[in-house]
Amino acid sequence: MPTLWSGDFSIQVTQDGKMQKWIYETEHLINPQVKKGDKVTAGQIVGEVSDFNNGAPPGYGAVEIGILKGGQKPEHVCPFAYLDDSIKEETFTNFRNLFKNWEKYIGNTSLYDESLPIPGCLTLNPIEG
């Protein structure tokens, strides 16, 4: 459960709690509800969404979900590239609709790049960190 630059937490989950090839991560959480070594289950609340060090709009939070490819220096990879084919297109459609609705609500239609091959992922290349 590293502390991030913003003072928020990164909750990292592996199958056995040790460094593995693949790590599920939720970043920018506050008030963690779990501690190192706890077993978690799908749907369990692990913390509260942060205001991103006051960088989120008032009343909103910012959280990042991801998959890390483990190693000496873990790499962030696009989690949505690993969705099962049975839910991939519906999920992408839901993301695109969410992004369009958010842009409409905010009044800025240039927030999201619609040309990205996978919505929600800025790059398909691993990012060190």
Number of domains in the chain: 2
Same domain, 15 and 57: yes
Q: What is the pLDDT of residue 71?
A: 64
Mean pLDDT, the chain cut into blocks of 10 residues (129 residues total): 86 83 87 92 90 70 78 77 92 92 89 85 78
Same domain, 91 and 67: no
Task: Provide the domain limits for residue 33.
Answer: 1-77
Q: Does residue 112 form part of some domain? A: yes
pTM: 0.67
**Residue 4, token pair as written in the block:** 């991030």
Q: Does residue 127 form part of some domain? A: no
Same domain, 54 and 73: yes
Identify the three-state secondary structure at position 20: coil
Q: Does residue 60 form part of some domain? A: yes
